[in-house]
Amino acid sequence: MIGIYFSGTGNTKYCLEKFIALYDVEAEIAPLEDIQTVEKIAHHKDIIFAYPIYYSNLPKIVRDFICGNSEIWQGKRIFILATMGLFSGDGAGVTARLFRKYGAQIWGGLHLKMPDCICDVKTLKRSPAQNKQIVAKAEERIKLSVSNLKNGAPSKNGLSFLCHIAGLLGQRLWFWEKTQKYSDKVHIDINTCIKCGQCVAICPMKNLSLSQNEIKASGHCTLCYRCVNQCSSKAITILGTQVVSQYSVYDFQQDKRN
């Protein structure tokens, strides 16, 4: 078994790590954007495929990965893990339909509500205590899902026709353009930016570059918010104009240990 993930701010990676640790501690985990991931997939039949949902749809980088490597899914058995800030309807279903098209068998699906990752708008912002409760509930759902999977009754979140309709009418039709192409909306405040280059290093799309002592963005942003959440000077925005809050699920785990 192998776990494949795309994670902007860490929520999805965290959930996959918890799932794998309970189901098969020896299973390999690999980020979707790693150049060796496609080769690794070839050596496994069973896959846990994890990603965040944006507007009830896939991040562009995830869709491109699935469609651009269509030949590797034939005969694979895939369990889909989708994280979201509020609601998706068919968060698992949007990839399930693609995977079936390319010859994969869908093993099951799990939807997990996690803390909001869009940190430059006020919508869905919650207190640290509320975020901890959300993470705790997600962990309980993971435990139950793994138990069901081991007992031969995998969860089927987001895979039914009704879920498809809910996702389509609930968000996807209204926000279709948000995820159909890469964004050119990244803004770097040159007066606040300290030119440390951290955002350049962590961008999965290589959308940012340090040129002539200035961070520059091209039009290839997948809206993962990794750079906005990790910018120490809060100099980067995408949808909003000011960073409201930054969050890391791994920081929460450190708080629990302390």
Query: Tell me, what CATH number does 41's domain have?
Result: 3.40.50.360
Q: Which is nearest to 131 in space by CA: 118, 157, 113, 111? A: 113
**Domain total in the chain:** 1
* Domain contains 258: no
Contact 20, 29 (CB under 8 A): yes
- How far, CA to CA in Å, does 254 sit from each of 16, 125, 258? 18, 21, 6
How many alpha carbons fall within 13 Å on the CB side of residue 114?
30
* Domain contains 248: no
Q: Which is nearest to 8 in space by CA: 258, 253, 207, 155? A: 207
Which residues form the domain of 71?
2-177
- How far, CA to CA in Å, does 108 sit from each of 69, 76, 161, 254? 21, 13, 14, 31
Cα–Cα dist 111/145, whole Å: 10
* Domain contains 238: no
* Domain contains 212: no
What is the chain's alpha carbon radius of gyration, rounded to the nearest angstrom?
Answer: 18
**Average pLDDT along the chain, 258 residues, taken 10 residues at a time:** 95 96 95 96 96 91 96 97 91 96 98 91 86 94 97 96 89 80 93 94 94 90 94 94 87 55
Q: Is 201 helix (H, G, I), strand (E, B) or coil?
A: helix
Residue type, 206: K
Contact 112, 83 (CB under 8 A): yes
pLDDT at 246: 87
DSSP for 141-198, please give it. Answer: HHHHHHHHHHTT---BTT-SHHHHHHHIIIIITTTHHHHSS-B---EE-TTT-----H
Cα–Cα dist 106/181, whole Å: 26
Q: Which two tokens stand for residue 151?
A: 């007992």
Cα–Cα dist 140/147, whole Å: 11
pLDDT at 254: 53
* Domain contains 99: yes
pLDDT at 55: 82
* Domain contains 80: yes
* Whole-structure pTM value: 0.93
* Domain contains 74: yes
* Domain contains 10: yes
